[in-house]
A and B are shown apart, each in its own frame.
Chain A
Amino acid sequence: MFRNQYDNDTTTWSPQGRLFQVEYAMEAVKQGAATVGLKGADYAVLAALCRTSKDTNTLQRKIMPVDEHVGMSIAGLTADARVVCQYMRTECMAYRHSYDAEFPVRRLVANLGNKLQTTTQRYDRRPYGVGMLVAGYDEQGPHIYQVMPTANVLNCKAMAIGSRSQSARTYLERNMESFEDCDMDELICHAIQAVRGSLGSDDADNLTINMYVEMVKSMDPPLEADHDALSEEGMSDDDMMDHGPSSSGVPPNDISDMETTASTGGHDAH
């Protein structure tokens, strides 16, 4: 799209009913490296292609754990992504502290959507230039949500965003029906294959794919509102001991951060 007289700020409509600033924010998402999210019956998986700068050789972290049961991968402005991620983490921690329970994922993304919407309606703010795939697992099962700078929140079975993500989406569409029956490893393979379709000619020989797998906490249904059953720390303390409010204290340990390398053959290092 070309520059026009209606794109100076977010609070100006175009005669066709478009908000150009918001659409430009979407462009920022399309510039980011591709990321893919999909879910099966028991797992939600995120995979992201990480761009490396050949000078510094550090990885751009695209997948961010939010809480023990939620993670997200991003495409677009990393700085905006960090702020959004921090917001989500704070919300999850506060909820956990107040209610001793996991924040239901759909409510979390709904809150996020509302937060993003205000940025599209204020003259002194701009939309967040980041698109997100939020993967979560709660009592309703695994979830994948797509959240965009337009503040649209979509509940997805599978989704891909970022540059050259159309081929990933095509792959996902073709294989979507089989995801329900896949086990964790098969889902991971699907995610990797989906994201491979988004490799460009200028991507490196040795590419790093960051992965995030959201796992089932406990195969048993939550029993008698005993929060220990939901605690993934699985303390070996006696069951009769009441451990007080989630004394499992700590780190999101179940996030498996796997890195695999895929070789694309014979091109310059990125």
Chain B
Amino acid sequence: MSRLGFEQFPDYQVPGMKHPDFSPYESNGGSIVAIAGDDFAVIAADTRLSSGYNIHSRTQSKLFKLSPQTVLGSTGCWADTLSLTGSMKVRMQSYEHTHLRTMTTEAVAQMLSIAMYNRRFFPYYVSNILAGIDNEGKGVVYSYDPIGHCEKATYRAGGTAGTLLQPVLDNQIGHKNMNLEDADKIKLTKDRAVSVASDTFISAAERDIYTGDSVLINIITKDGIEVRTLSLRKD
């Protein structure tokens, strides 16, 4: 007999007994791809927001313009995404009031890392990729894990289809696992970056149910941010 005076049910699910299990996290799906070039950075994210087999929205942008030179792409738990980008926005505004200038991309990258690690023991369930132009005018991409580990890279894919997209980028942008002469290695132009990003998304939409509907592409240069969209499979 238990202390409580009645028969206790076992921990595993038994018929008739509702097993309460609250998870604070939910995956709302979506994928991001970011590619950095000599004087540009391209970041693309799909626009589908889902929950299990249900779709919340087909037109939800996952790209957040933090400054004219920096864009953050965020997928995972949408509530955490909103909370994180909201607090980043406030911190960046504080910085501007104090320092009378916009935060550099590198500074934003570091601050985001710190902000995420501050929640080490109840993490933001978010897959972040930050793309922008650094102080010297070169394109730069930073990728994050849920607790803020930050890594600078030339190209990166994240989100639910991240593992599908990353090898494609490795091959097409990084020229990995190919027998190529140096002369054949195509220099990365803005158009090529955009077309590789677009193509990888089309492939991802084929296989990943959480990715699809359309892609929003931000092309960041020192002159500003150009926006393009691309339609994807809606199934």
Contacts and interface: CB of A to CB of B under 8 A. Distances in A.
Interface string A232-247: 0101111011111111
- The interface size bin for chain B is 20 to 34
A262 to B, nearest CB: 24
Nearest to A93: B90
A248 interface: yes
B85 A236 contact: no
A238 B229 contact: yes
B75 to A, nearest CB: 12
A8 B229 CA distance: 69
A65 interface: yes
A243 B73 CA distance: 12
B164 to A, nearest CB: 24
Interface stretch (B53-61, B132-140, B191-199): B53-61
B90 A247 contact: no
Contact of B90 (A86, A97, A241, A248): A97
Interface string A176-196: 000000000000000000000
Nearest to B98: A86
Contacts of B152: none
A236 B225 CA distance: 9
A237 B102 contact: no
B216 interface: yes
A241 B216 contact: yes
A252 B64 CA distance: 17
B67 A249 contact: yes
A244 B64 contact: yes
A248 B67 CA distance: 8
Given A93-B94, A242-B61, 18 more contacts: A94-B90, A96-B90, A97-B86, A97-B90, A235-B227, A238-B229, A240-B59, A242-B59, A242-B60, A244-B64, A244-B82, A245-B82, A245-B86, A249-B65, A249-B92, A250-B92, A250-B93, A251-B93
A250 B86 contact: no
Interface string B37-70: 0000000000100000000010111011111100
Given A250-B102, A251-B67, A241 B61 contact: yes
B89 interface: yes
21 contacts: A89-B93, A93-B90, A93-B93, A97-B90, A235-B227, A241-B59, A241-B61, A242-B57, A244-B81, A245-B86, A247-B61, A247-B64, A247-B65, A249-B64, A249-B67, A249-B88, A249-B92, A250-B93, A251-B67, A251-B93, A252-B96
